[in-house]
Amino acid sequence: MNVEPADLSTAPRSTKLALAGLAVGVLGLVIQWIADPAKFPGFPPGIIMIVAAAAIVAFGVRWWWTPVFSVLAGTWIVGGGFLSAQLTANLASGDAGTVAGNVVMSLGLIVAAVAGILAMIEGRRRLRRGAAGR
């Protein structure tokens, strides 16, 4: 089985945008961690989850469906944060660093989720065009 390395240069722009959104999400978590280290015992677990999702998207760039991991990470963290009221509480916090970190994280992950959906649509269309040309 010959496995070639992923080539992000040929990835759809929406896939690259999804990866950028995930990176911004990590940046937001780092801002929160710096602002209130006691909130995270040791290391923020969200960073691990986001980096894992980004790695799957980046290394699986040849498959149209891998951007689903940017969608899952974004909706899990932002959607779960709202449903559990943790994100809302953090946004209403008196700590400017926590608020800024949550805003940056949320915006990045929302972009990652939307771009991930668009990347899957575009990837699927590319696949259909390729199959139709055979």
Q: Taking the C-alpha atoms of 60, 117, 33 and 80 in order, what is their torsion angle to the nearest 10 degrees?
A: -120
pLDDT the model gives residue 132: 65
State yes or no: pLDDT of 3 exceeds 60: no
pLDDT the model gives residue 26: 98
State yes or no: pLDDT of 1 exceeds 50: no
Task: Give residue limits of the domains in the chain.
Answer: 30-35+44-126
What is the pLDDT of the chain when averaged over all its residues?
Answer: 91
Predicted model pTM: 0.89
pLDDT the model gives residue 6: 64
DSSP alpha helix (H) spans, the chain: 13-35, 45-59, 68-74, 80-83, 86-91, 96-132
Among 29-33, 61-65, 98-102, the least confident range: 61-65
State yes or no: pLDDT of 71 exceeds 60: yes
Selection from 5, 55, 6, 68 nearest residue 26 by Cα: 55
Rounded CA-CA distance 19/17 in Å is 5
pLDDT the model gives residue 41: 84
pLDDT the model gives residue 12: 86
Q: What is the DSSP letter of 42?
A: S
